Amino acid sequence: MIHFFNQGTTPDSHPGSGSTMGATFLRHVVVVLALLFVQLLVATETFGELLPQNVGVIAVQGSEESLAIARHYVSARNIPPRNVFLLEKKYPSTISRKVWNEEIRPQIRAWLATRPDVRCVVCSWSVPLRIGGYDSQSPQVAGRLAFLDEKLRETRIRARALLGEINKLGVPATSEPELTNLSPDFSAKDFVAALQDVLRSAQGRISHIQDETLKKAEATKLAKAVLLAGGTARAAQAFANTSKERGVLLLAQRESVFALSICQSLPESNARDVRLLRLITSFGGFAEALRFLENEVPATRKNESMGSFDSELSLIFEEDWPLISWIANPISFYSKSAENMNRLVQRDQFILMVARLEAPSPEVVIRMIDDSIATEEKGLSGAIYLDARTGRPGGTPKHGSYEKMEQSLNDLGARLKTCTDLEVHLDTSGALFKKEACSSPAALYCGWYALESYRPTFTFVPGAIAYHVASLEAANLKGGKGWCPNLLKDGAAATCGPTFEPYVVAFPEPDEFFSLILTGKLTMIECYYRTLPTLSWAMTYVGDPLYTPYKNNPQLKEESLPQTLKSGSPQNAPQ
């Protein structure tokens, strides 16, 4: 008997929710393996310490605040003056994709081409904050939707026809059973359920055939149908007890995955996706082809093609990344093991690290710079405040879920209490910290979830690092009720946050981000990019990128880091 699609083993389609965006089949299967392909391009040279000569500064002509902050930072950090680039004019906070593609990106890219040592760029004050998405009627959105709808229709027709063919196996020509009815817009889940039924029936009928030659012929047809219905991945499971066939299928499965990774690296186009669908069908059959299309259609219709300016700038040397949603960050620890911590890809596949110097006033920005440099000399000291909403959830929750964020905050608190002598306050009451409970000056803070509802709770020590996990907290860095501008205004030197709805999946997890900072081994911008899950998305880092707060007084040994940072292969990595 061929055991196929056992109950409860089919992958979830992961529809979008308030906590994490829906992932397509492609992201589920390819994201990590695609990075294996990217690693074939990794340079043999390992970059060393991030130095002032590796930092560029982008300022804006016509903005006195931008120019003044740029001058101060260049002087304070001894950055070569030639590493300063001036945008020709002042732009609004949100620019269109057209302005980015046709005006700003070419300017910056041409400048960076003459500065091969620059690995990090700082955006000074008036540099745009966001890049808008495609118009819903644009070819990138409307054209892709029409393509996906047609491919979904075609795949349903082929899948239904396959069910009909399976249903004929083992049946005399004069007596064909009726196919289980399916609605015209049946889902992958509906297909799998119907497939279970027709396979079970066909296996029963074939087992009763007396003619051994006919029985073998029908069984062969059934095996081919299994391969087409579920691809090499499911067929390998089905033939788990037949070593020869399983070995052949596993080899084909590996070849399909490698081909998928290469195909995904090609420029996004309908022609590419025709090939992509063929490969997905080969790997996962009609079931996964349907899942892929079912997830792509709503994701495309949702049209989340916007991005923070800084996140898109990180990809300035890349070509044709998909823009409908985020991409996995190739230089995060999710993509590379700890021993490759400072390793970047070749210049033509280069990920630029980007920081921002912006706050409610230029004076606050100057203070942030000066505090970072002064604190770095003596080392950051002060209390750590972690504001969780519950105790630690059990199990291995998915990255990007509320449960995973709770787990990360609780794990960080436990790690610091066990491995350091720091004063650690972990609140799991569900309410935000009360001011009266925070008498010790704060060096580090992370908490959640109070959307654009900043509370002036802490007294921050100079050089403090703080961020709050909530949507839109960096949508306006110059004012408003968001946490990012107000944390900086009240004394923090560095923060990070989203410029639009990011989903929880976008944030660096506190246990990884702050643990890495506490080793004193890397600059703030390296800690941020090592733990930032996605690019071409919502997040921005605000502060001096060269700041290394625990350089001269490390608080956490490398052997005490989270296992995920050391292995580079966390459970349920972002997709």
**How long a stretch of residues is the chain?**
575
Write down the residue that tokens 């921005």 correspond to: 540
CA angle at 90 for the pair 369 and 86, rounded to the nearest 5°: 60
Which stretches of 307-365 are assigned E, i.e. beta strand? 307-308, 327-328, 353-357
CA-closest candidate to residue 323, choices 150, 472, 534: 534
> Which spans in 122-187 are helix H?
144-168
> Which spans in 183-269 are helix H?
188-207, 212-238, 243-264
d(CA 284, CA 291): 10
176 is written with which tokens? 């064909």
CA 90 to the chain's CA centroid: 31
Predicted pLDDT at 226: 77
CA-closest candidate to residue 226, choices 192, 187, 181, 175: 192
Q: Say if residues 158 and 286 touch (Cβ distance below 8 Å).
A: yes
Per-position b or e across 347-359, b if 16+ CB within 10 A of its CB: eebbbbbbbbbbb
d(CA 19, CA 289): 25
CA-closest candidate to residue 537, choices 372, 314, 353: 314
What type of residue sits at position 226? V
19 is written with which tokens? 């906590």
544, 448, 511, 318: CA torsion to nearest 10: -50
Residues 6+ apart with CB under 8 A from 452: 470, 472, 473, 480, 481, 482, 483
Q: What is the DSSP string of 355-412?
A: EEE--SSHHHHHHHHHHHHHHHHH---SEEEEE-SSS---S-PPTTSHHHHHHHHHHH
Half-sphere exposure of 60 (CA within 13 A, CB side): 20
d(CA 387, CA 448): 6
pLDDT tens per residue, the chain (575 residues)? 333 233 333 323 222 333 333 333 333 333 333 333 333 223 223 346 899 999 999 999 999 999 999 999 999 999 999 999 999 999 999 999 889 999 999 999 999 999 999 999 999 999 999 998 877 777 777 888 888 899 999 999 989 888 888 888 887 655 555 565 788 889 989 988 888 888 888 888 888 888 888 888 888 888 778 777 766 555 555 544 444 444 444 444 455 555 555 555 555 667 777 887 888 887 778 888 898 888 888 877 877 788 999 999 999 987 766 666 788 888 888 665 333 333 343 444 478 999 999 999 999 999 999 999 999 999 999 999 999 989 999 888 888 899 999 999 999 999 999 999 999 999 999 899 999 889 999 999 999 989 999 999 999 999 999 999 999 999 999 999 999 999 999 999 999 999 998 999 999 999 999 999 999 999 999 999 999 999 999 999 999 999 999 999 999 999 999 987 875 444 444 44
Count Cβ atoms below 10 Å from residue 255 Cβ, excluding itself.
14
Q: pTM for the whole thing?
A: 0.74
> Which spans in 420-553 are helix H?
483-489, 510-518, 524-531
CA-closest candidate to residue 495, choices 445, 437, 431, 537: 445
Q: Say if residues 95 and 104 touch (Cβ distance below 8 Å).
A: yes
Burial class (CB in 10 A: 0-12, 13-18, 19+), 370: middle
Q: What are phi and psi of 101, to 5 degrees?
A: -70, -35
CA angle at 246 for the pair 241 and 252, rounded to the nearest 5°: 165
What type of residue sits at position 445? Y
Residues 6+ apart with CB under 8 A from 559: none
Q: Say if residues 358 and 541 touch (Cβ distance below 8 Å).
A: no
538 is written with which tokens? 């919502």
Sheet holding 353-357, edge to edge: 84-87, 55-60, 120-124, 353-357, 539-542, 495-498
Look at the alpha carbons of 258, 261, 265, 267 in this order and tell me if their dihedral is positive or negative: positive
Q: Say if residues 76 and 111 touch (Cβ distance below 8 Å).
A: no
d(CA 68, CA 490): 22
